[in-house]
A and B are shown apart, each in its own frame.
Chain A
Amino acid sequence: MTEPDRLTEPDRMNEPAHTTTPGAVAEPMVAAAFAGALRPRRFGAWYIAEHQLRQMRSYGWTVVMSGIGSPLIYMLGIGLGLAAFLDVPVASGPDGPVDYLWFVAPALLATAAVSVTTEEFTYTVMAGFKWRRLFWGMNASPVSPEQICSGLVIAVTLRMVFVSAAYYLVMVLFGAVGDVVLGTLMVPVGVLAGLAFGLPLLAFSAGIEEDRGQFAMVQRFVFTPLFLFSGTFYPLDTLPVGLQWVGWISPIWHASEAGRLLSYGPGPGSWPLGAHLAVLALLAVVGWFVARRVFVGRLRS
């Protein structure tokens, strides 16, 4: 990961980090300091990611238990319980109706990845900027604001990889996947969905100066409706047309549909895989650029 050097900023290091002799008056300690800044300058994002991951270890058991426990409970409760109760087929693949479990599982995987970001890209960000002011401490080092942002994203991505992979394993155990080999691609698709939802959210959170319950509102009025109206439990076209747009803008719907294509192939009227991935990538990339700008704007002001 090569970050662009921002050496022109007046309030940061005036000397280019890669010149080891900063002048005739250079003392050995100054030279050592500049030499020591080289690696953080280049790999700063990874240092930040390491820090964030170590921080996650303080609630490591929660991460592991919810990462493995939630899929188990959802697969039992929705996948098996509700599936046993439904006697009409809900969804179809290329060869006619598919198991309800096959239909619902990819959506639950995507939701799990997205819900990681509702925690890590909200309260964690607020803690970094305001409550514990960790980002300001990092900012006082050779690490750049962009790298702080990237480091956070790397750490959360790794947590999402773990959650999605755990979900996928549970799905395989429950026989909830059509094509087990192709289905493994649901893990990166789930992570992409998490980024598509999470990076715009990160941009929003990074701009918040005062906590007035915005995150509870995001949870209630953005995450929950997207989860419920994204064709998660039944096909999107069952909803009234007035509500179907919720699915079209929802990373959860795009990732669920992509997961279904990978698991059992296209049903009637499904979009091509590339279209779903393109929407997810677009949301992620736009969110990424805005989030970095907000980090730079706030930490360099």
Chain B
Amino acid sequence: MPTPFPHSYLPHTEAQRREMIDAVGVSSVDELFADIPDAFRNPDITLPPALTELELLREIGGLAKRNAVPGEVPCFVGGGVYRHFIPSVVGAMISRGEFLTSYTPYQPEVSQGTLQATYEYQSMICEITAMEAANAGMYDGASSLAEAALMACRVTGRHSVIVHDTVNPRYRAVVDTYLVPQGVEVITVAPGGESISDATACVLTQYPDYFGAVRDLTPIADAAHEAGALLAVSADPVALGMFRAPGEFGADIVTGETQPIGVNMSFGGPFVGYFACRLSHIRQMPGRIAGRTVDHEGRIGYALTLQTREQHIRRERATSNICTSEALIATGTAVCLAALGPGGLRRMAELSYQKAHYVAAEIAALDSYEVVDNGPWFNEFVVRCPHTALETNAALWRRGIIGGIDAGSAVENGLLLSVTEMHTRAEIDALVSALREIAGKGAQ
């Protein structure tokens, strides 16, 4: 037995440990592990030495300081993750210990806070997507879209899905990971190139699409429905502050990433995948759902509901294996949406639109650059550059600017740039003049 390790997370004193060991009726703590065969018990694990709180801040804080932070440096990377304004109330509310350190609300009487917040989150997701029902959240936008495809297979009894090539390639990769092992056929096509058949469970599309375009989805919805298939749309919720909602176009399932609303970029997570559908399909929906009901005295209260779809009851016949999801982050999105209101969300969207279109116009006016015409668009666009995206980004970074995402597989030397209300005029002007300089200098 090594020397006892006094630690601020471990409250027992040595005297108390002794007292408890005696009460249990063993000679030592080690004896409690006697079921582990000797050959395997007490292995050496090599971890770096323990640090005190003061040392943790220095050591791990040092790692944080080695990263370039968007906002501290100009950054025009989007691709599904965006830096939007997060009001202070969001962090203040979700860092309250009662939200932060509770578990899944299995006991509704002592979880009304989490449950009501979830119900209101579901309500707000329904409002912005124009859908009838929403769940409490999925892991992220990509897994949410994959689960939408699986749900469409359950609803239609079919096993083939069509995915538009204008869907985020990282989302399409997750759709493959989820669907292919279950024997679902995944067909990738350009929008309009669908050959929807009576085997098609659904069409998966994105709005605005990966390259920024905003299109009327009605023809796609009509074509899918005519063949007995569903339409599932992955949508940026900020765009829905000003553009028509997928539900208005006839979408059957709407998913996406709530990250742009109240969630830090955090190097890619934790985020929340939102998930909304028609009420008629609710029993095929994956994930947790909070519902409103009454107690024995008729007082309004909230509880988890429709749990017979879930794995803790239905086991291998559940709609999904998703269990722990992203409740706290969903609450953060709800707090942010509450603070923004319809006016704030619309203004955030319009500011992003205005600034992005200004950047695009400035870049289009440069020699050697061309903004790809994708029709109406929101806050993201592709620029055809004189050099590859890799070269352009490297040259931008030498000037202290983080550029965009390589879109070379869709457009030669294409660079996908994203702009939100967070970008200052100074950052925008720095980008435009750096691009001008790079064009003339052979990407140096």
Asked whether A and B interact, the reply is no
